[in-house]
Each structure stands twice: as C-alpha cells, then as structure tokens.
Amino acid sequence: MKKSLFAVVAMAFAGSAFAATVQDIAERYTKLVLAIGVHDPAYVDAYYGPPQLQEQVTKERQGLPAIRAQIALALKELAPQRPANADEALRIAFLTKQLQSMLTRIDMLSGKKFKFDEESRQLYDAVSPHHERAYYQRIVRQIDQMLPGSGTVSERLAAYRSKFVIPKDKLKPVFDAAIKACRERTARYITLPANENFALEFVTNKPWSGYNWYKGNSQSLIQINTEFPIYVDRAVDLGCHEGYPGHHAYNALLEKTLVNDRKWTEFRVYPLYSPMSLIAEGSANYGIDMAFTDAERLAFEKTVLFPMAGIDPALADQYAQLRKLTAKLSYADNDAAMHYLEGKWNKEQTIEWLVNVQLYPPEKAAQRVSFYDANRSYVINYNLGADLVKAYIERHSTSKDPETARAQRWAAFKQLLSSPRLASGLR
C-alpha cells in the first residue's frame, strides 16, 4: 500500500535532522487548506496555484484526523521560528492564526459545536459586541419618525424603499457606472496591476447579494444576485465591496505584492472560514467610505445613478439620511445569527427579529437565515471587520488638512491590503 503524501511529509518532518523553514511550512499550509476543501466544498474561496497540486490533493483525499495531525505539526514547527524583520513577523503571525483556525474548522466538520462567540474568535480572531432589543429599538424609533404612512416601521420602510428599486433592464448600465466610479476613485491612490479586470454576471437563487470569485492573474468574476429587488444605493455598495477598493483590489494586491514579488506562496489560496476573511470583508465594507465621502456619494448618486435608474433625484437627500440610520442596525444581524445558531430562537423568531428589529424586507429575511445556516458566525466579518479596519486606518490619519489626511488614510489602506495582517494585529 502506497504511503500518502501527508504520511511521507509527516515522517520527513518527525526527525530532528530537518529544520523546517517558514517557506516550507507555507507550502504545506497551502496543501492543507486544499485538503480541507475536499471535505468542505465552500472552504476554498480562491486558489490560483498549480492545478496539479489541487488535483493531487483531491485524489489523495486525506481523512480529517490525518489533516489535523499535519496542522498540529506545522504549528509546532512554526512556534520557534524567529523573524528576520517586521514583515516576516507578520507572515509568521498570519500563518499561526490561519493554521489555528483550520483546527477549529476541522473540529466543526467532525461534529463539534461551539458557542457563537467562541467560534468567531477561533475562526476569525474576533468577537462581536452584542445588544439587547431595546438598544436597536431606539434607532428604529428614529427611522419611524422619518417614514410616512401607516403600518409597522418595517412595512413603511419597504413601501418607501420601493421607490428606489433599479429596474431590471437598467441594472447593467447602473452597475457599470458605479463600478467605473469606484475604480477611478481607487486608482487615484492605489496603483492597480495593469492587466486587472473582471467579468460581471447577474445571477439568482443565491444566499448572498453579491460575490467576488478571484481567479488569479488579477482577474475576478463578480456576480450580483437579482432574485430580490436591488435598490439604487446597492450599486455603489457592491461596486466598491466586490470591486474597488474591495475584494477584487484586495486579492490583486495580495497576489502582486506577496505572491509575485515576495514568493509567499501561501497567498495563492484563500480559505473562506479563516481570519483572513475578517480583513477581506472589513476592508471591502470600509472601502465604500474610502472611495466616497458622504457628500461625494450623494452627489454622484443624485447626478448619475438616480437619473440613469429613472429615479427622482429630489429624493436622494432623504434616502441618504435613512441609509445612514438603518446602517446603525447592522449588529442586529450578528445577534440574530447568535441566538438562532445557539438554538435560543427558531427560524420564525429569527425572521421576526430581522423584520422588526433590523428592518429586513420580509421576503429577504428567510434568505438571511439560510446564510446563517451556511456560513454561521461569518456574519461578524462584515460589520465588526469594517469597524476594526476603520479604527486602524483612522489612527494613521493625523493631519489636520483634509486632503493630506485622506492621502494618509489611503496609504494605510493600501498597506493593509498588501500585507498579512489579521484582526488582532489591527488593535
């Protein structure tokens, strides 16, 4: 019987005659991520290394206990590594956190249950704050005062927002215009790879509103879910989040800076349920505010996107105010996921919270619960991630001159997108 690749590696590294380097561990880390992906199809979000390696790992199909033993061995060998400089220290810290999160994911795939906060800490290196219903109700009352008509706040918000739906025949031009503006604003401060590009597709029947599938060589596939109405403000949100300076820019910069320039091969693979995702989602969400100030976004939507979508620009100011208020309900999403996943609420109770506390459209609330089922504590990466990235970036903005301060923020943002920093490294 042939020994598997991982058994051979384990034997080779068991002896004291061979001293593993960080690069050795990084190459084995890549194989281990791919090996988990054989058991968990959603785990490998992106891989653009040699296809033969993925084929080999798939063919071998190592069991979870064997993979777990290899991760433990890699962590043991990583512990005594001494960085030569600050960048190497970040790399070692990155690999350590990523490998530790892989142990947790294997435990979950093996049937182990974690409390919501414990799971997020071990998978994403962060824990979300939580609030009671009364905290959010104070915000809901402010929204209530802005909305005309009768009925529940959720019903009146849905009726009001129906005026801002992008007609399906205008989705592509509106999104093209938004993405173009997001790219132009990003390119003023970040030099993107010359060949970077993406394909845009509209899809249905997905548990998410938008997704970036990074293909390597600075290429992405961006998909937008059209199953439910898409409101005009989502064009900028998704254009920045999925494109510039969000996921597409992040992955392209990691590939150029770390994979191509430094030969850090571990960045050719992106495990979705890992600390890396908090930076990816947090920077993508905060990237919206990086690309547009509130005033710039209002002007762009009022003069370009609203007319293009056939929506009255005179409504833009009030709609922007409402958007800012509803954004303050963001952490209600984490609370809903926590109570649902820990079994404290059933599906109906969770939907009630989403509709009446977070003011989700009723038709989308069930979709959100399906996201919890599929991705569990991943939800913290969007809002907590954005808040952690924001605090980190703003600490680097010290000038009293607005333009200089903005340039400082962009410099810090670019550095973040080009480095292996994780949540605990942002504090």
Q: pLDDT for 384-406, tens place per residue?
A: 999 999 999 999 999 999 999 99
Mind listing the pLDDT tens digit for each residue in 139-192? Answer: 999 999 999 889 999 999 999 999 999 999 999 999 999 999 999 999 999 999
Query: What are the beta bridge partners of residue 269?
Result: 47
Q: How far apart (Å, rounded) are the C-alpha atoms in residues 225 and 205?
A: 7
Query: What are the beta bridge partners of residue 223?
Result: 201, 211
Mind listing the pLDDT tens digit for each residue in 246-268? Answer: 999 999 999 999 999 999 999 99
Mind listing the pLDDT tens digit for each residue in 228-238? Answer: 899 999 999 99
C-alpha angle 185-188-189 in degrees, rounded to nearest 5: 105
Q: Where are the alpha helices (DSSP H) in 188-329?
A: 233-238, 247-254, 276-291, 294-300, 306-309, 316-327
Q: What is the 3-state secondary structure (H, E, C) of 52-82?
A: HHHHHHHHHCCCHHHHHHHHHHHHHHHCCCC
Reported as a pLDDT band with limits 50, 70 and 90, residue 362 is confident
To the question of pTM greater than 0.75 for the whole model, the response is yes
Report pLDDT for 222.
95
Q: How far apart (Å, rounded) are the C-alpha atoms in residues 212 and 219?
A: 10
401 CB-contact burial (10 Å; exposed 0-12 / middle 13-18 / buried 19+): exposed
Picking from 328, 296, 267, 349, the residue whose alpha carbon sits closest to that of residue 90 is: 267
Q: What phi and psi values does residue 313 have, to the nearest 5 degrees?
A: -65, -20
Instruction: Give percent of the chain above pLDDT 70.
Output: 96
Ordered by start, the domain boundaries in the chain are 5-112, 133-425
C-beta separation of 222 from 248 below 8 A: yes
